[in-house]
Chains A and B, each alone.
Chain A
Amino acid sequence: MTPKFKAQAGTFESSDIMVLIEPVAEGSGRQVDISSTVMLQFEEDLKSCINQVLDVMEIENVHLIAKDKGALTPTIKARVETAVKRSLGIQEGTL
């Protein structure tokens, strides 16, 4: 699936991760840009965690920007899932 809308989820608070999704053209592939307060220690972990969620949600073409403040795995997964759903326009039960 390919995101249609610009979307974001998460905050800049400590232990959270801000995930921004920008739609790209079909066939552009995945571009994941990560910055983090714990980049030196968890860069690989962040990359694989984010890509895992994108795999499960079958997102092949996307530009995802993540600004992390030391979020734990469940938070990263939740924020990516939320941002993806919003970018696909399929988020439920919210304004």
Chain B
Amino acid sequence: MKNALGVEIPEYIEGLGELQPYQGVWKSIIEDEVPSTNISRTLKAKKAHTSKLCSSLEEAIKKCKPFDGMTVTCHHHLRGGDGVLMQTIEILDKMGIKDITLASSSLTSAHDGLVPYVENGMITKIFSSGIRGRLGEIISMGKLKHPAIIHSHGGRVRDFLTGRIKPDLSVLAASAADEEGNSTGSHGPSAFGSMGYADIDARYSKNVIIVTDNMVEYPCVPSTVRQHFVDYVVKVDSIGDATKIASGTTRITSSPMDLRIARIGATVIEHSGLFKDGMSFQVGAGGASLAVAKFLREDMKRKSIQGSFMIGGVTSYGVDMLEEGLFKAIFDVQSFDAAVSTSVLNNPKHVEITCDQYANPNNCGAMTNKLDVVVLGALEVDVDFNVNVITGSSGEIRGASGGHSDTASGANLSVIVCPSFRGRLPIIMDRVHTVVTPGESVDVIVTERGVCVNPAKPNLAAALKKAGLKVVDIRDLKKEVDSMTGIPAKKELGDKIVALVEYRDGTIIDVIKNVTNLE
């Protein structure tokens, strides 16, 4: 069956069940009604004064009675420094557990160690927001038994709540925890800031283990995950590589190209009609997307604009803007550097939020629905304003869906910032290799050679033109870039579906076919 973007979606896939085709940004989201599938919590009673402490992660996992075919999850707040997921999988492997569904919130460069476990069939299904490195390559080659499901951050929460993901065991790292499992990422030697992604796992997983390298005396205050969701607590020597988790502060790029694109992006925002008191925004964690914040900050100060909130993906740059009083609050679902952890701990206006509150499409108050402006990056865009953030130039899986489609759907103004070509590869395609964020939710694409406005917003285009911006038809810009770079040869792909891209409402927006030219 074809979805609304013309992609052929199978009606049923062995191991994944029935699939629904994408219909449109808001078409499959039920308003003002409780969805028909809503799973219940799995809290277990315990007698008074019993200990949750285990002497090792192995002991804790044993107590959770692991079984073949189980679903295991971790959060990815430790980013490239995560050591917990690998420890967990290695222990399960030693116990001979097979046919595992992995449903961590995302997979990073720290998880290349999973490759042998996928290749030997120990892990047969993966739900994730992102897959990188060698793991992404082998999945692109079709080595995972069932197609992987790529979901957005908000979509993951919805997947839990509707039973699409049925977590049996969640092993959640914390930088500080007490013997009952009150835990947090906001303090401790391996502090990583917000623990927003872990909330849904803690609440709905059948077995929850808190793992920390820093056991504190009861009670751990403040805490994010609370003890009434935690089954076992373990102290380990290391939860990962602190230097790769969160180090120092985030600096604005010095790349002249990224700065140029960011400057144009900021000007777009300033003439969008949204640049006024009470504005809210979200920017990315680096590159041109974060650099937009630098220009907005200067211009907000110049024009004495007081914003309402920032949200994200928070870097120390955002913290600086909060402390300068440019915004009333910052809502943090993931913290990107050490300075942010400190702010989470000390500033009541720096609010840690769960992914549910952030972006779950099936709740009455997802914050993405309140957002004025979001600035996002792209691996590829196309003439229909669709955006690819998941597959690379050979069609290999190497990125993440993340909050891209969530924020784009909710923001009043979704701005994509990207160069018009990267290393000779054009970024504007006739059709992106993989649609993660549909063009319907994308308003402006900003490149160094011109600004393209979605034809659905002619007033915006007129306003930007009037402001002196170089507004161009995206097809013309594509032609111009193609004449500079030449037209790339078509990607060689197989016929096997190796991954599905799930839109935030659970429908399938695109499929990823296997790549034939990787080794």
Contacts and interface: CB of A to CB of B under 8 A. Distances in A.
Binding between chains A and B: yes
B423 A41 contact: no
A45 B483 CA distance: 13
Contact of A40 (B393, B484, B485, B486): B393
A12 interface: no
B517 A38 contact: no
Contacts of B393: 38, 40-41
B425 interface: yes
Interface of B: 393-394, 423-425, 484-486, 488-489, 491-492, 517
A44 interface: yes
B133 to A, nearest CB: 18
Interface stretch (A20-28, A57-65, A69-77, A78-86): A69-77
Given A40-B394, A40-B517, A45 B423 contact: no
19 contacts: A15-B423, A37-B423, A40-B393, A40-B492, A40-B517, A41-B393, A41-B425, A41-B488, A41-B489, A42-B489, A43-B489, A44-B489, A45-B486, A69-B423, A70-B423, A72-B424, A72-B484, A72-B485, A73-B486
A14 interface: yes
A70 B425 contact: yes
Interface of A: 14-15, 37-38, 40-45, 69-73
A42 B489 CA distance: 6
Contacts of A43: 489
A38 B484 CA distance: 15
A42 B394 contact: no
Most buried by B among A37, A41, A45, A73: A41
Given A38-B393, A40-B393, A41-B425, 16 more contacts: A15-B424, A37-B423, A38-B488, A40-B394, A40-B491, A40-B492, A40-B517, A41-B488, A41-B489, A42-B424, A42-B486, A43-B489, A69-B423, A70-B424, A72-B484, A73-B486
Contacts of A14: 423
Most buried by B among A40, A44, A73: A40
A78 to B, nearest CB: 15
Nearest to B422: A70
Contacts of B484: 72
Contacts of A71: 424
A45 B424 CA distance: 12
A30 to B, nearest CB: 22
Contacts of B492: 40
Contacts of A42: 424, 486, 488-489
Contacts of B485: 72
A48 B80 CA distance: 42
Nearest to A45: B486
A14 B489 CA distance: 20
Contacts of A45: 486
A40 B424 CA distance: 12
Nearest to A73: B486
A45 B24 CA distance: 39
Nearest to A41: B488
Contacts of B424: 15, 37-38, 41-42, 70-72
A33 B6 CA distance: 41
B491 to A, nearest CB: 8
Contacts of A73: 486
A14 B257 CA distance: 14
What 6 pairs across the A-B complex have the smallest Cβ distances? A41-B488, A70-B424, A70-B423, A45-B486, A38-B424, A41-B489
Contacts of A69: 423
A69 B485 CA distance: 13
A17 B425 CA distance: 15
A40 B394 CA distance: 8
B326 to A, nearest CB: 36
B355 to A, nearest CB: 36
A38 B423 contact: yes
A73 B424 CA distance: 10
Contacts of A72: 424, 484-485
A69 B492 CA distance: 21
Nearest to A74: B484
B35 to A, nearest CB: 43
Nearest to A38: B424
Nearest to B492: A40
Contacts of B517: 40
Contacts of A41: 393, 424-425, 488-489
Contacts of B425: 38, 41, 70
Nearest to A36: B424
A88 B491 CA distance: 39
A15 B422 CA distance: 9
Contacts of B394: 40
